[in-house]
A = this chain, B = another copy of it.
Amino acid sequence: MAGIYQFKVEQGSVDGRGRAKIGFLNNAIVNVAGMDADISGFGIGDVNQENCSWVLSRYAVQFDRIPVCDEVISVDTWIGHCEKFFSVRNFVLRDAEGVQIGSAISLWALINIATRRPMMLEEMHARDGVAFVEREEPMTRPAKIGNVTPDITAEHRVVYSDVDFNGHMNSMRSIEHLADLLPYEELLDCKGYRLDINFSREGLPGQLLTLACQRGEVNLFDVSCDGVSLTKASMQLF
C-alpha cells in the first residue's frame, strides 16, 4: 500500500532540451502505482481473477522541475484512504539529492469487466485488510474541469498504439495527445507544469475523437466522440 520506487529518465524519452517528455514521466508514475498494487496483492493480475480491472478516474500532477536524461527519480507512493468508489493514491517525486521535484494524486475506480460498473471499494478494501497511510496529501486534488470553448481542435483516430490492456485508449496516451495540441516551443520552454485530468468515458479502437483546447494561462482540454465528452483536462505551463 506504500513504497518507494525508482525510475531512470531514458535517452529515448527526452525532448529537444534533453528533459523527460510528458508522456514518459506520467507513464512512469502510473507504472509505479501498478508495481505497488502488485506487491500489495491487489494489482491488475489479482483483481482480474475477480473479473475486475483498475481504471484511472481522476489524476493531477505537478512538476516544479522537469528531470533530465539519465536522472534517477524516486517515487514515494501511498494510498491515503478510499472513498466509496475510489482509491486515492498519492505520489511524491524526488531527485537523487532528495529534493522534491514533483507530486501527483490519482483516483482509481475498480470496475467489473463484464458490466463496466464500479465496485464498492470501501467494502473490498475492508475485506482485504488494506491499510491506509495517514499522511497529508502532497497537492490539491484533481480539479473538476468545466466547459471548454475551443481555440484549437484536431481529430484523432484511436489506433493500436493508443490502446492498453483494458482494450481502451490508454490514459497516459490521452495526456500526450492533449499536450501535443499546445505549441511545441511552449512545451520545450516551460520550467514545469500542472496537469489535471478527468476521465469519464473510455475511447475505443477505431473511434474518431475530437481533441479541443481553450488557450489561456490555464489551458483547458476536451476529448469527445460524436459530441459526447470522454475526457476533460487542464494544463498550466510555468
| A binding-site residues for B, Cβ under 8 Å | 10-16, 18, 21-23, 27, 30-31, 34, 44-45, 69-70, 159-161, 163-167, 170, 172, 176-177, 179-180, 182, 184, 187-188, 205-206
Contacts of A34 in B (CB 8 A): 10-12
**CB–CB B184/A206 < 8 A:** yes
Contacts of A69 in B (CB 8 A): 44, 165
| Complex Cα spacing A58 to B179, Å | 30
**CB–CB A170/B15 < 8 A:** no
Contacts of A177 in B (CB 8 A): 161
**CB–CB B159/A180 < 8 A:** yes
**CB–CB A16/B184 < 8 A:** no
**CB–CB B44/A161 < 8 A:** no
**CB–CB B12/A172 < 8 A:** yes
Q: Which of B12, B44, B70, B205 contacts A164 (CB 8 A)?
A: B12
How many copies of the polypeptide does the oligomer hold?
A: 2
Contacts of A176 in B (CB 8 A): 161
| Complex Cα spacing A170 to B10, Å | 13
17 additional contacts (CB under 8 A) given A15-B163, A160-B184: A10-B31, A10-B34, A11-B34, A13-B27, A16-B163, A16-B164, A16-B165, A16-B166, A16-B167, A22-B160, A22-B161, A23-B161, A44-B69, A45-B70, A160-B188, A161-B177, A161-B180
Instruction: Give the Cβ gap from A56 to chain B, nearest Cβ, in Å.
Output: 10
Closest residue to A23 on the B side, CB-wise? B161
| Complex Cα spacing A187 to B162, Å | 13
Contacts of A45 in B (CB 8 A): 70
Contacts of A22 in B (CB 8 A): 160-161
